[in-house]
Structure 1
Amino acid sequence: MIRPGVKPVFHSLKPKDVIGVAAPSSRFDEQQFQKGVLCLESMGFEVHIPKGITGQHRYLAGTDRQRADVLNMLFADSEIKGIIAARGGFGAMRLLPFLDWDTIAANPKLFIGFSDPTALISSLVCKAGICALHGPNVVSLGQAGKQTLDSFAKTVTGCFTCVDLPSDQVIAGGIATGPLVGGNLATLVHMIGTAYQPDFADRILFLEDVGEPAYKIDRMLTQMKMAGVLDGVKGVVTGSFKDCDNDVYIPQILQEAFLGENIPVCMGLEAGHGTVNISLPLGVRVTLDADRACLEWDVIP
């Protein structure tokens, strides 16, 4: 699926570019959705809303084939410069076998989303060699605060260099460089053993989650470790673990999960399901400097 010899490129957007909306996961609230669309338009983008994204199939925004067809169409359309997920929930991983990966690889463009769309982001980055943006979905944009919106507006246009991390949340020191990958922990774990199992070797791993008690985070990281998915990881940085019971245990869980690996491990990145959700270019080379408590992207020409 990865095009040999092709270096992943972050396809930044510019004002008046057309962003297409896909609904790869759950059904969404149309009022919140419209607020998000207005937000994108206020940033100077044109928004294309395909027919059929308001479909209903149980808790999903249409059948798997319907949702996949929209994504295939958006990637194939040369007028569409970026694609953003309507919301998270569940369902994105069900689409993976129905996607036209040859067309997607031949028409790389920026995909934006977080939470359940991690399944798409991980596959685009790890399997198709296409950079993506871990950032707000349309629905979450409609209720986002200034810090989240400012980060989104700057990052989609390719303006990103460094993010400071809380120095008191450094689990293990050191410096590591590699492409940033990852996303929602629970979604990544459910991809283990599939044809779309993520590859984190020689990469910096980003993780976040919501509503998972500490023991489940422990269990998921243990499964990843025992499955060999964490082999070769060069560094780890975590975002928010919102509404996670016994979250005071998470630093110790992370310390144990990566004990003896001699890699930098940091917490406290304001990305994920928390009040602030800064945008993170994934697939792009970064330096995680735990000694200076910062995450810095290579400058994009």
Structure 2
Amino acid sequence: MKKRIPLKPGDTLGVCAPSARFNIEKLNKGIHNLKKMGFKVKVPEEIFEKKRYLAGDDISRARVINQLYSDFDINGIICARGGFGAMRILNHLNWNSIRQNPKSFIGFSDNTAILLSIISQTGNPVIHGPNVVSFANAQQETLDSFYTAVTEPFDKMDVKNPQTIKPGNCTGILKGGNMATISHLLGTKFQPDFKDAVLFLEDIGEPAYKIDRMLTQMKMAGLFQGIQGVIAGSFENCDNDEYIEEIFFEIFEEYNVPVLSGLTSGHGRINLSMVMGTNIKMDTKSARILWI
């Protein structure tokens, strides 16, 4: 694992669009909020390209990321939006360049595919946090959390409305993100390794039975062998969400690890940012996550 390189006011964030096409008005509002925080923002012209539901073809979307990593004037990289498309460009990313030029890479949702691949391919930490369009109408708590996560210090997070599914405490490398995206990486060379990880999961618009199905598939594929703990984030607009904690208990019971839910990170009204790919401590009693 490598240490995170924090951002500071005046640093430049480069915008990439690895996934779906985006609303330009929301993008501009999001950029405005990033500038209000004190960051400069570089927007490559290529991100406005279109191919079906994607923000350009695969080679173009990957090229933007590769160029931002090789640009010494860029201090961090943030995704325009999620949707779908990030996993399509994984084979086109220059992993040697990404490894040799560690920068804060920020995103969530479909961009979970890139976040987890950066961790596994390079050892560089990443930021699970809002995409640019998310900043257009973001709550102040989301904005504050993002600023804290990308700058120093960032050392703890309290789960304000915790539900202990299985009590205990653990230490491990924080990994995870969008559940549907993770499940679609199974069987590929970019399938994540969650051994020794504290696993974070979130999703949107998935009924309880589909959440059950995805978790069961990942379990049967051996993805949870060696995990140290589980943190459940937001499950927004998920039908029968009253079943989710019971499903999590059943899926993870045999691993004898602590399982905590209630973290407001993901697709909910508030999306708290977190550094992933680094060691954390999680304690269900205090409902606190500590970065160590």
User: Does residue 196 in structure 1 map to residue 161 in structure 2?
Assistant: no
Residue 170 of structure 2 is matched in structure 1 by 176
Please point out which of 3, 6, 23 is paired with 1:9: 3
- CA distance, structure 2, for counterparts of residue 261 and residue 101 of structure 1: 33
Once the two structures are superposed, residues 83-141 of structure 1 have per-residue CA deviations (whole angstroms, 9 ceiling, x without a partner) of: 00000000000000001111111111110001000000010112221100000100001
User: Does residue 126 in structure 1 map to residue 120 in structure 2?
Assistant: yes
Trace 1:11-90 onto structure 2 (pairs within 5 A).
11-90=5-84
User: Does residue 136 in structure 1 map to residue 113 in structure 2?
Assistant: no
- The answer to whether the 8 Å contact 2:196/2:226 transfers is yes
TM-score normalised to structure 1 length: 0.95
- The answer to whether the 8 Å contact 2:12/2:75 transfers is yes
Residue 156 of structure 2 is matched in structure 1 by 162
User: Does residue 213 in structure 1 map to residue 213 in structure 2?
Assistant: no
Give the secondary-structure state (helix, strand or coil) at the position aligned to 1:71: helix
Q: CA deviation at 1:167?
A: 6.4
Q: CA RMSD in A?
A: 0.9
- CA distance, structure 1, for counterparts of residue 121 and residue 246 of structure 2: 32
- The answer to whether the 8 Å contact 1:114/1:134 transfers is yes
The amino acid that maps onto 2:84 is F
- The answer to whether the 8 Å contact 1:179/1:283 transfers is yes
Residue 179 of structure 2 is matched in structure 1 by 185
Q: CA deviation at 1:260?
A: 2.2
Once the two structures are superposed, residues 227-264 of structure 1 have per-residue CA deviations (whole angstroms, 9 ceiling, x without a partner) of: 00111010000110000000000011000001121111
Q: CA deviation at 1:292?
A: 1.8
- The answer to whether the 8 Å contact 2:161/2:263 transfers is no
Say if 1:171 and 1:75 are closer, same or farther in 2 by CA, change over 3 A. Answer: same
Of Structure 1 and Structure 2, the greater helix share is in 2
Once the two structures are superposed, residues 5-43 of structure 1 have per-residue CA deviations (whole angstroms, 9 ceiling, x without a partner) of: xx3221210011110000000000000000000111111
Give the secondary-structure state (helix, strand or coil) at the position aligned to 1:80: coil
Give the secondary-structure state (helix, strand or coil) at the position aligned to 1:257: helix
- The answer to whether the 8 Å contact 1:118/1:182 transfers is yes
Residue 98 of structure 1 is matched in structure 2 by 92
In structure 1, stretches of 5+ residues that fail to align are: 1-6
User: Does residue 280 in structure 1 map to residue 280 in structure 2?
Assistant: no
